[in-house]
Amino acid sequence: MHHHGGMNESTSTFEWLSLSMPFVLLIVLYIVAVIYSNKKYRKWPVYRTLCWITGISSIALACFGPIAEKAHSSFQAHMFTHLLLGMLGPLLLVFASPMRLVLRTAPVKIARGIAKFLKSRYVQWITHPILATILNLGGLWVLYTTELYSAMHSVFLLYILVHLHVFLAGYVFTVSMIYIDPTPHRTSFFLRSTMLILAMAAHNILSKWIYAHPPAGVELMDAQAGGMFMYYSGDAVDLIIVIVLCYQYFKNRLGRKTVQT
């Protein structure tokens, strides 16, 4: 609880620096890897680097700073941080294709280890659209329909775990739907679209549920504004995933199912 108080006071310069350090480091590492990879392979697209920078920044913004501090008292602000941490951030990171970059630049031994990990049973399970959807949307339902939401604000460890889960589940979900990084375990377009539709439905049903049944400790007006924000912003990010999913499928379809006349 004492940490909580510390977060609300204006953050000192030292705190700012130490909190932003890991995020800055991730961006620097990525850029170094890009420069290194450009010397050996085809040029790494600039948009991927931009996606990485904006993606990492979104997540940083959700973790500390003015919006993250406001999220402790305002449900609307909380919803905004969740959009950044669980949907927009992961999507941008997926567009940045970090695994491909690591495989290009890491020493062969390490790269082999990573490739082996990507092919493992564990990754196959966790990135299966059904499990990824349950982890992602199930987690949100548990968070907002049980006592977890209010408990999270009083126990700091819970707060960290919940946010870590929201990010990881969001990333795994995105990876299970669209294939931008090397993806050894692929599932059918039909299965992925079905799960995506169910996930979108579960998301907008939950946002209406929140609109009508505020989580403990949230005022009705705040919950209504937060619920509506969740509904529309979720649709916007999901729309991008739908477009990429369809684009990838139809790009390949033309060659497969037609005969020339």
Residues of this chain that interact with other proteins (CB under 8 A) are: 193, 196-205, 208-209, 211-212, 227-228, 231, 235, 238-239, 242-243, 246-247, 249-250, 253-254, 257-261
Quickly count: other Cβ atoms within 10 Å of residue 93's Cβ: 24
Instruction: Report the C-alpha gap between 175 and 255 in whole angstroms.
Output: 25
**Distance between CA 168 and CA 184 in Å, rounded?**
19
243-232-177 Cα angle (round to 5):
35
Report the nearest approach of other proteins to the CB of residue 122 (Å): 29
Sequence-separated (6 or more) residues with CB below 8 Å from residue 222 = 74, 75, 76, 214
Minimum CB separation from other proteins for residue 224, in Å? Answer: 8
Closer of 47 and 250 to other proteins (Cβ): 250
The least CB distance from residue 242 to other proteins, in Å, is 5
**21: Cα separation from own chain's centroid:** 20
Q: Which string of b and e fits 177-202 if b means at least 16 CB within 10 Å?
A: bbebbeeeeebeeeebbebbeebbeb
Closest CB 210 distance from other proteins, rounded Å = 10
* CB of 91 vs other proteins, minimal distance in Å: 16
> What's the min distance (Å) between Cβ of 228 and other proteins?
6
User: Rounded CA gap, 1 and 79, in Å?
Assistant: 22
When the beta carbons of 109 and 257 are compared against other proteins, the nearer one is 257
Q: How far is CA 107 from CA 38, 95, 125, 172, in A?
A: 15, 23, 27, 25
Residue 10 or 258 with smaller CB distance to other proteins: 258
CA pair distance 204, 197, nearest whole angstrom: 11
Q: How many residues does the chain have?
A: 261
Of 117 and 232, the one with the shorter C-beta distance to other proteins is 232
Nearer to other proteins, 143 or 199 (CB): 199
CB of 148 vs other proteins, minimal distance in Å: 21
